[in-house]
Amino acid sequence: MSESSDIEVGEAEERAEAMLTAARSVIRTCMQIRSHEHVLIVTDPETAGVGRALYEASAEVTDRTLMMMMPTTHKKGAEPPSPVTDLMRRQNVVLLATKNSLTHTRARLTASREGARIASMPGITDDMFANGGITADYNALQKEIAGLNPLLRRRREVHVTTPAGTDVRFVIGARWVLEDNGICNRPRQIMNLPSGRVFVLPKEETMTGKIVIDGSWDGKLLDEPLVLLVDNGVIVNLSGGEMAEKIDDVFEQAAIPLRPSKAARVRTVAEFGFGMNSRSKLIGNMLEDQVVRGSAYFGFGDNSALGGKAMVGVHMRGVMMKPTVELQDVDLIVNGKVTARKK
C-alpha cells in the first residue's frame, strides 16, 4: 500500500472515531437515552454516515434501536413514507439525520403528540458532525444559557449594531427562549442539533433602522452583504444583488394568497437571536450558522411560532458577524464577543 493510501486510511479512521464520539454525546448527553427506551434513527443516502454513527452509539445503550433509510426520491417538505411515519409514533426517541427537514411534517407532529422526544439534524454532513457545533459540551452550554436569565428579565429595549452597518432598535414582544441548549430529555420535546442560541420575538411595529446581513442567508454564504431597511417592524427596502432579488421573489410569492391588507406582513422582522456555541463555524448551513458563538441573526416572515400575528407561511433567516447587542444597561455581545454583563 502506498504512503498516500496509508494516510487516507488513517484519516478515514480518525473521522469515523470522531463521528462515533459525537454520536455518543448526542445519545448520552443530549437525548439521555436509557436502556429500556425504543429509538428510531431516520437517515438517507446523503447523511448515511451520520446515521450509522448514531445507530452504533445508540446500540451501545439500548438494544431497541432501529434505523430506516429514506428513499433518494424524497423531496423537501414531503411526508416520509408510511412505514417511517408509523415507526416514528411508536418510539421514545427519534433522531432525524436527513438531507431535508422533517420537522414540519405531520409524521413528526404525530410522533411528538404520542410522546417521542425528537432531535432534528437537516442537512448534516460528516464534517459538521465530527468537527462542528454538535461536538460542544452541552451540559456546560445549558448552564451558561440558563445563567443569562437574570440579565434578560425585565429588560425590553434592544439595540443591535455591526461593523458592516447594522443599526437597529426594537422592543421584545415575549420572553427570551433559553431552551435551545442541546439537552432534549423530556417527552414531546423537539430540538435542532447543533444547538446553542438565545432568541426572542421582536414586538411588532417597534423596530426601525438598518440591518446588514454579511454572514449567510438561509444556509447560503453571501458574496455581498444584504441591506434591509426596516420601518415599524417591516422591511421597506432590500438590496444586495442577485440574492436580494431572489428573496424579494420569495416574499412576493408568499403574499399572493394573503388578503391585500395583510400582504406586507410577509416582510415582518419575525425573530432575533444570537449564538452561544463555541464549536460552531459559519459554513453555509443554517442550523450551524445561527448558533456560532458571538454571531447574531434576524428571522423574517412568519412569527406565529413565537406568538406573533404574522402567519404568512414563509420564514427566512440571515446571520450577521461581529455584532454588538445591547439590552438596555446590559452588553450581551460586544463586537462578536459574548460578554453578558452590565455596563
Enclosing H/E stretch for 239: strand 234-239
What are the pLDDT digits (tens) for 48-57? 999 999 999 9
At 72 the pLDDT is 84
Q: Does the CA dihedral 24-25-27-32 come out positive or negative?
A: positive
Task: List the grid coordinates of 217.
Answer: 442567508
Domains of the chain, CATH where assigned: 3-131 (3.40.1830.10), 136-183+192-342 (no CATH)
Mean pLDDT of the chain: 95
Judging by DSSP bridges, how do beta strands 197-200 and 269-275 pair with one another? Answer: antiparallel
At 75 the pLDDT is 81
Query: What b/e readout covers 192-228, taking b as 16+ CB neighbours within 10 angstroms?
Result: bbbbbbbbbbbbbebbebbbbbbbbbbbeebeebbbb
Judging by DSSP bridges, how do beta strands 93-96 and 157-161 pair with one another? Answer: unpaired
For the chain, percent helix, then strand, then coil, each to nearest 5? 30, 30, 40
**pLDDT band, very low/low/confident/very high, at 4 (cuts 50, 70, 90):** low
At 2 the pLDDT is 56
For residue 45, pLDDT over 70 is answered with yes
